[in-house]
Amino acid sequence: METFQSLLAKKLSDALKAADLPDAGELTPASDPRFGDYQINAALVLGKQRGENPRVLAEKIVAHFDAGDLCEPPGVAGPGFINFALRPGAVGEKTMEVLRDERLGVTETESPRRIVIDFGSPNAAKPMHVGHIRSTLLGDALARIAQFLGHEVIRDNHIGDWGTQFGMVIWGWKNLLDRQALQRNPLAEIVRIYKETNHRASNEPGVREACRQELIKLQAGDKENLDIWNECVAFSMQDFERTYKVLDIHYDIQCGESFYHDRLPGVVERLLKGGIAEISEGAVVVFFRDVPELADKPLIIRKRDGGFNYATTDIATIDYRVNDLKADAIWYVVGAPQTLHFKQIFEIGRREGYRADLCHIVFGNVLGEDRKLMKTRSGENVPLRELLEEACRRARKIIDEKNPDLGEDEKNDIAATIGIGAVKYADLLQYRTTDYIFSWDKMLSLHGNTAPYLQNAYVRIRSIFRKAGNPPLKIGRLIFADAAEINLAKRLCQFAEIVPQVLNGFRPNILANYLFELANSFHTFYEACPVLKSEEPARSSRLALCDLTARVLQRGLDLLGIKVPERM
């Protein structure tokens, strides 16, 4: 289905051609609705390129523009912006098309790709904490949106399950483990023995060396150590799965670092044989002498003692994703501190001739109210499960106050929907590279740009239909008697323009902001236009706008991983 933006873009291209001018500028929604619905800066761009007066060029373009039934004749404003105002008839017809379309006007891409999205990636033997939230939520939203747009998506949770911490965990398991505590809370006990071993290793050289030996035995395939390692990883995976269930997040594959362990010698041999790596002071190193920003930043892929590191693992991972999974693109949703690492890894991938599009999607930090990294009072990272439980508790308190007559189970279900939705939306609302301050009061508010505000708009619409007896929608055309109706209809038609834009720059925040503006447009419409008390045919027309608004809110929030309740 064509959007208003694509229809106008075609007409503009024709007008520029007729005026003997090249395509230029960007067609965008108008910054101020008083000037119309869309605008383009083509004349300004061409004026600068050609040394001509942009207003004269704009008039020339407008003279060749065939508005037809789509929009009013375009106007020229300011230094040469061209503005377009849609005709009400065109808006009505397009909104009816969207109303009848299961996909709400969003067309699937004509060039689908197989995309591996690497996100989340917690470390085994440690609980997930608030620092994992941005990668997990951003990766999930991008996966949902890419899939909706017709791409084949493989969600990969690259678990850190083969690091040096396991030497300490295994030594602690053998020397400090409390079996009863392990049965009560496995991960808490594993964390306890790791911390105590780490403390001892810092002060006792004997313990430090013993931990190193346990790691060597593990990596050499010692049965006892492998059994302990397997048990630790299994406990960790169970704990992660409980958190992912609460978050409604799933993975297609969970290939941890250990999955690639047997491939690492082959990676090093291949890079040496291909002349990409060389031996330097006993280690195997990749130099980037011809890449200015990496010229003084070589990468070790095999240490002097013969050990591998996570750079070696990441090269093996690219190889697996390109050659085994046949990925056209690999998106790494990983924090900004890893930027140098990925530049090095991607450069090696390019030298190996991989054609897949490799992309590092960075993001900012979650800060506490003190504008510092969010920590507990004891200085620890805030456990993610505790954060989510707190969100549900706080949402439950609000529901108890607002709607005390609901049953216990329904209250708990709604509290989870609102609490988890609030945490997700507060994160995805931010442009991904900016830090944001975590504020319970702000994110759970029913006012302002929050998930509860959007969920409440959906609930209000469902309540209208319950009062009306949930009638089937029978409507031939929409009638606009009030400006609020046509403004809401225009906003609804923009959904199909917004969703594909999210993947340009990986910005779920533009979808979040669109949904907020849609909810605002709906509330303005709701205040100005009686729905159930209006006469036919206005009543059916307004019910249709309500129904479409609910569907767009529900689908849009679902693309962000957020559910909607039927009541609040």
DSSP string of 190-235? HHHHHHHHHHHHHH-HHHHHHHHHHHHHHHTT-HHHHHHHHHHHHH
Query: Tell me, what's the pLDDT at 305?
Result: 86
The SS3 of residue 559 is helix
* pLDDT digits 0-9 by tens, 217-248: 998 899 999 999 999 999 999 999 999 999 99
* pLDDT digits 0-9 by tens, 476-490: 899 999 999 999 999
* Whether pLDDT at 113 is above 80: yes
Residue 279 corresponds to which amino acid?
I
Query: Tell me, what's the pLDDT at 556?
Result: 98
**Res. 472 pLDDT band, cuts 50 70 90:** confident
Query: Tell me, what's the pLDDT at 165?
Result: 87
* pLDDT digits 0-9 by tens, 366-394: 998 888 887 766 667 888 999 999 999 99
Q: 533: how many CB neighbours lie within 10 A of its CB?
A: 6
- Distance in angstroms (rounded) separating the CA atoms of residues 545 and 553: 12
Tell me which residue of 118, 564, 560 sits closest to 361, measured CA to CA. 118
Name the helix (H) or strand (E) containing 84. strand 81-84
- Distance in angstroms (rounded) separating the CA atoms of residues 549 and 547: 5
Residue 118 corresponds to which amino acid?
D
**Res. 164 pLDDT band, cuts 50 70 90:** confident
* pLDDT digits 0-9 by tens, 80-105: 999 999 999 999 999 999 999 999 99
- Distance in angstroms (rounded) separating the CA atoms of residues 517 and 215: 55
Beta bridge partners of 359: 331
Map out the domains of the chain with their CATH numbers.
Answer: 4-86 (3.30.1360.70), 165-247 (no CATH)
